Amino acid sequence: MAGIGAQGLDSGKNILTHMGKFRIERTGGIPLSLFLIVALPFLGSVLPALLIRAGRNSAYLSTAAVTLLALVGLLLNAPAVMRGETVTARLDWLPGLGLNANFFLDGLGLLFAGLILGIGLLIIIYARFYLSREDPMGQFYSYLLLFQGAMVGIVLSDNVLLLLIFWELTSLSSFLLIGYWRHLPEGRQGARMALAVTGAGGLAMIAGMLLLGHVAGSYDLTAILDQREAIQASPLYLPALVLILLGCFTKSAQFPFHFWLPHAMAAPTPVSAYLHSATMVKAGLFLMARMWPVLSGTEAWFYLVGTTGLLTMLIGAVIALFKDDLKALLAFSTVSHLGLITMLLGFGTKAAAIGAVFHIINHATFKAALFMTAGIVDHAAHTRDIKRLGGLRKLMPTTFTLATVAALSMAGIPPLNGFLSKEMMLEEAAHTVWADYGWLVPTLATLAALFSAAYSFRYVAHVFLGPVRDDYPTEPHDPGAGMWMPPALLTLLVVLIGLFPMAMASTLVETAAGAVTGGQVQQVHLKLWHGMTPALVMSIIAIAGGVVLLGAHGWLDRVWNAMPRPEAKEIFDALVGAATRASRAVTDTLHDGSMTRYGAILLAFVLALTGYAWFSGTLAAPTRRTMEIAIIPLLGWIGVILATALVVIFHRNRLVTLVLIGVVGLVVSLAFTYLSAPDLALTQISVEVVTVVLMLLALNFLPRETPLESSPMRRMRDAALSIAAGLGVGGLIYALMVRDFAFPTISDYHLANSYSGGGGTNVVNVILVDFRGYDTFGEITVLGIAAIVIFAVTRAVLNSPVRAYLLNRKPSEPQSGDAHPMIMVVATRMMMPVALMVATYIFLRGHNLPGGGFIAGLIAAIALVMQYMASGFSWAAERLRFPYSALIGSGVLVAAATGIGSWLAGKPFLTSAFGYFHFPPLEKFELATAMLFDLGVFLAVVGAVLLALESLARFAWRPGIASEFPMDINPAREVEETTAEEAR
């Protein structure tokens, strides 16, 4: 990102003005803590991967320390948030594009970030003792921290574009976690399914967020949340709402996208516990809660969100009752509870929003504990099949106690925390009318709660109660404290929040709910007894019905298995298979390996679009008169046309084509001179000389003529497309030249600021080394890389069987007996110091007159190339005092050091400084730091050209002239040792 010079920077007219200056602001809280909270998991993700070599404990402790530090940083900001403040951290990155690295922490962000980091810390401890020695623990913890950082980034982002980046990172990192046991086919399939579904939803959400930002006039969330009326009055509201909800529903496994979540259970249990309780699936809920102030309150929101949540809650609960796999049962229960929260958010009332926030907390506590206890059972008994379990109460009393408390909370049994939020849900459902049907929502909500109680009771009864069996895969037993302590802490919260809700949760719920509803909410009253309300009656019916269903489960299970029903996974697999077959058919039809066909299709498409734009658009009348054409320029133009036509006619003869291309380049150089562009003319002619020499070397290894491959019809098609494209480009250029621009061009700015900002009167050079210096730096880097690639490829070829062929090939034409004519040797050696002096002169004058490092580098390279041509490769190589690759590296380093020097001076990268100096007896002269950058360009160009020449010259040996081959190869010996058969 180059500046425009010392004075140009002061005026603010540099590229960063358009792209945005880096500016950091903070309001409230601890300085930069939000940046650190988000960055810590990403930065710390490298630690477990590195420290695993020091042992599993080192990887585990480093992961826990990183998460703990981020959690401490969050808690340091919590008091300010609880007081009603919003902690912000702003970094204006690319404001012109609306992309700012802004973060803010309010009640909702504090709630979710606390769950992510707090439960994440418990999961890290649990995973240390859950994973076996065969599992790569360092890799696991690295993936977990990446996932944790992406989730924290989502909940703290104050810019929807930044949020979208973190959103997609959660999909990618969860793919790694779900597929962690990649040796299991179900793990790989579950990871692919999760990525496909959530990734597709993410794409839809990107479109919706862009629409929302367009309507609000900003991509900052805090700005969008203040535009409720404008957004809901916009015709783009409904499309934006649908697209955003697609992203939320897919991420939070809402019907009909619920099927991916149970298949993610192939992941290790710590991953499942983390995904289902505090992360991944909660991301969709978070976004619906975050956007609640601007998107809720409409019929579209109510019917889309409320109905989807209600159906998901009921469907997930029914399916969960008939699952025999412990994690599958818990997975569908998660689907059901996510639907419950979605439904509450869809109701659109403040009371429902409070209930949703409270249930997010409660669900995180009991669901994480349940998954951990399921993992303990699987770890101890080596099975998750409920039908192979039972009677574990006596064998695993600690696990039984923890699982029972958490399951009863999930069932909504008082006095546990799940009962409180379930009552709030039923209370809101009892007063909700759906399409004039007042009984529909409360009936279905009660039915869903009934099934929820039933599968919760089954989790306890069929796994832990009953007689002890004698056919367990292994003898079950309670684990060590490392595995039961994390779920025990969560279970303790389940009890404490249920018994003392006001002391334990009311402040956090009130603060988070206020952020959801976009304002202060009335004081939240959380208590166990509200009197004999409709919600209590519905709850009693649900619990009693759950007990009845548990008693009838055996009969119901047989009926369920006998019933025909659609399988979402099979439907998904069929859709994916059909899409794959269709795409393969299209791909095989279009991509047949013919580059000319690809080019023709692309060109025809571009011509069709441009033709439509040309003939359907409006073009103002010309405002400039054309110049009279003199005879010499006309002849030059005719020469270019003729040479170009001859290239087309004789293109199969490679040597003739190269000569004709050189003619075109020469005439173009003359045209630049005629049009007062001496810099371009010098560059063009220098590039032509170097290119022709290198192309001649390359063509030496190809047949003289290109084989005829195209049919007459294809040649006619290509000719028609080429003529149309040429006429179109020519017409566009003509239209631009005869019309004035309606707005100031950047060339006016360069002309006005070249001397004052960059210290040079040669605008072209000032652009290259100052205004657009960063582009030039990238170009010389790419040029150096290209030369090194040529060197590597030729070295590899010389070490392959192709080497024998090259050594034994015979020229197609008689060769001159005098490979190095004396007159050419003498002439080039006399010209070399003159050429180098000219290169030095061109280099020094470049900042104010035509010249510069690039042109000087080409001239110096030509002087050295002539030595190779006249005296031979060996003669020049023996006198080589420095490797050309070192020249390239030196050039790039000098250019980079020039830019870094600007940083040290407190200026943007590659900002140049200049001044005038007088050292008697010399006249006053100017020095600019851009000269150092130009020196880097000079060195890189010389090194790249000569390294490419040297690499290609390695193939240029001719039999009988061994001295012409590179020093490290003895071709004479190769010819003697290689038979003609081996050569072929």
- pLDDT at residue 522, as a whole number: 64
Instruction: Give the Cα separation of 46 and 32 in Å (integer).
Output: 22
* pLDDT(825) > 60: yes
* The amino acid at 189: Q
Select from 339, 543, 560, 570 the least CA-distant residue to 457. Answer: 543
Banded model confidence at residue 248, pLDDT cuts 50, 70, 90 = very high
Residue 327's nearest CA partner among 400, 281, 285, 275 is 275
Whether the per-residue pLDDT at 285 is higher than 60: the answer is yes
Q: Who wins on pLDDT, 161 or 973?
A: 161
Q: What is the pLDDT of residue 425?
A: 92
**H or E stretch including 926?**
strand 925-928
Distance, CA of 961 to CA of 951 (rounded, Å): 18
Residue 389 has pLDDT above 70, yes or no: yes
Q: Where are the alpha helices (DSSP H) in 846-913?
A: 853-871, 873-878, 884-904
Look at residue 525 and tell me whether its pLDDT is greater than 80.
no
Q: What is the arithmetic mean of pLDDT over 929-933?
A: 87
Q: Report the pLDDT value the prediction gives residue 871, as an integer from 0 to 100.
A: 82
Is 524 a residue whose pLDDT tops 60? Answer: yes
CB 953 within 8 A of CB 865: no
DSSP string, 559-583: HHHHS----HHHHHHHHHHHHHHHH
Model confidence band, residue 32 (pLDDT cutoffs 50, 70, 90)? low
pLDDT at 331: 92
Copy the structure tokens of residue 907.
Answer: 């200026």
Please report which confidence band the pLDDT of residue 21 belongs to, taking 50, 70 and 90 as the band edges: very low
Q: Which amino acid is at 856?
A: A
Whether residue 404 is predicted with pLDDT greater than 90 in this model: the reply is yes
Handedness of CA 212, 218, 224, 228 (dihedral sign): negative
Pair type for strands 914-917 and 103-105: unpaired
Which tokens is 281 given? 């699936």
Where does the pLDDT of residue 521 fall: very low under 50, low under 70, confident under 90, or very high at 90 and above?
low
- Examine the pLDDT at 246 and tell me if it is beyond 60: yes
Q: If pLDDT is split at 50, 70 and 90, which confidence band does 299 have?
A: very high
Average pLDDT, the chain: 84
Confidence of residue 72 (pLDDT cuts 50, 70, 90): very high
Instruction: Extract the tokens encoding 801.
Output: 């069987």
Q: In terms of C-beta distances under 8 Å and separation of at least 24 residues, what long-range contacts does 975-984 make, across chains too?
A: 975/807, 975/808, 978/804, 978/807, 978/808, 980/808, 982/804, 983/804, 983/805, 983/807, 983/808, 984/805
Question: What burial letters (b/e) apply to 16-52, b meaning 16+ CB within 10 Å?
Answer: beeebeeeeebeebbeebbbebbebbbebbebbbebb
pLDDT at 962 over 60: no
pLDDT at residue 23, rounded to an integer: 46
Give tens-digit pLDDT for 756-775: 888 888 888 888 888 888 88
Model confidence at 970, in pLDDT bands (50, 70, 90)?
very low
Q: For residue 803, what pLDDT is reported?
A: 67
What span, in angstroms and rounded, lies between the C-alpha atoms of 386 and 463? 6
The β-bridge relationship of strands 103-105 and 87-91 is antiparallel
Is-cis flag, bond preceding 415, omega within 30? yes
Cis status, amide bond into 256, omega within 30 of 0: yes
**DSSP helix/strand/coil, 474:** coil
Which of 544-553, 557-566, 812-821 reaches the highest mean pLDDT?
Answer: 544-553
Residues 634-681: pLDDT tens digits?
Answer: 888 888 889 888 888 888 888 888 888 888 888 888 888 888 888 888
Q: What is the structure's pLDDT at 419?
A: 92
Instruction: Report d(CA 206, CA 244) in Å as an integer.
Output: 8
Residue type, 863: A
Distance CA(407)–CA(269), nearest Å, equals 17
CA dihedral 867, 870, 874, 878 (to 10 degrees): -30
What would the pLDDT profile of 356-378 be if each residue is shown by its tens digit?
A: 999 999 999 999 999 999 999 99
- Buried b vs exposed e over 387-408: b needs ≥16 C-beta within 10 Å? eebbbbbebbebbbbbbbbbbb
- The more confidently predicted of residues 977 and 557 is 557
Is the pLDDT confidence value at 485 over 90?
yes
The answer on pLDDT for 519 being more than 90 is no
In the predicted structure, residue 13 carries a pLDDT above the cut 60: no
Which positions ≥6 away from 316 have C-beta within 8 Å?
255, 258, 332, 333, 334, 335, 336, 337, 338, 339
Report pLDDT for 55: 86
Average pLDDT of 571-599?
A: 83
Of 497, 454, 460, give the one whose Cα is nearest residue 365.
497
As a whole number, mean pLDDT of residues 724-734 equals 87
Q: Residues with Cβ < 8 Å from 470, sequence gap 6 or more? A: none
Taking residues 950-977, report their average pLDDT: 48
Beta-strand relationship, 914-917 and 925-928: antiparallel
DSSP string, 131-163: S-TTS-HHHHHHHHHHHHHHHHHHHHBSBHHHH
732 has pLDDT over 50: yes
CB count in 10 Å sphere of residue 241: 24
Band of pLDDT at residue 967, cut at 50, 70 and 90: very low
| Burial status of residue 607 (CB atoms within 10 A of its CB: 0-12, 13-18, 19 or more) | middle
User: pLDDT exceeding 70 applies to what percent of the chain?
Assistant: 91
CB 115 within 8 A of CB 52: no
Confidence of residue 812 (pLDDT cuts 50, 70, 90): low
Q: Over 70: is that where the pLDDT of 70 sits?
A: yes
Structure tokens at 157: 């982002």
pLDDT at 984 over 90: no
How many other CB atoms are found less than 10 A from the CB of residue 677?
A: 16
Distance CA 510, CA 496 (A): 18
Instruction: Look at residue 333 and tell me whether its pLDDT is greater than 90.
Output: yes
Is 70 exceeded by the pLDDT of residue 7? no
What pLDDT shows up at residue 598?
82
Q: Tokens representing 714? A: 């294809």
110-119, 714-723, 738-747: least confidently modelled range: 738-747
Q: What is the pLDDT of residues 880-922, one digit of tens each?
A: 777 888 889 999 999 999 888 888 887 878 778 888 777 777 7
Q: How many of the other CB atoms lie within 10 Å of CB of 642?
A: 14
Mean pLDDT within 584-607 = 82
Reference 788, options 884, 712, 880; nearest CA is 884
pLDDT for 965 beyond 50: no
Q: If pLDDT is split at 50, 70 and 90, which confidence band does 816 have?
A: low
pLDDT at 815 over 70: no
Confidence of residue 973 (pLDDT cuts 50, 70, 90): very low
Q: Compare 450 and 2 and report the one with higher pLDDT.
A: 450
pLDDT at 603 over 50: yes
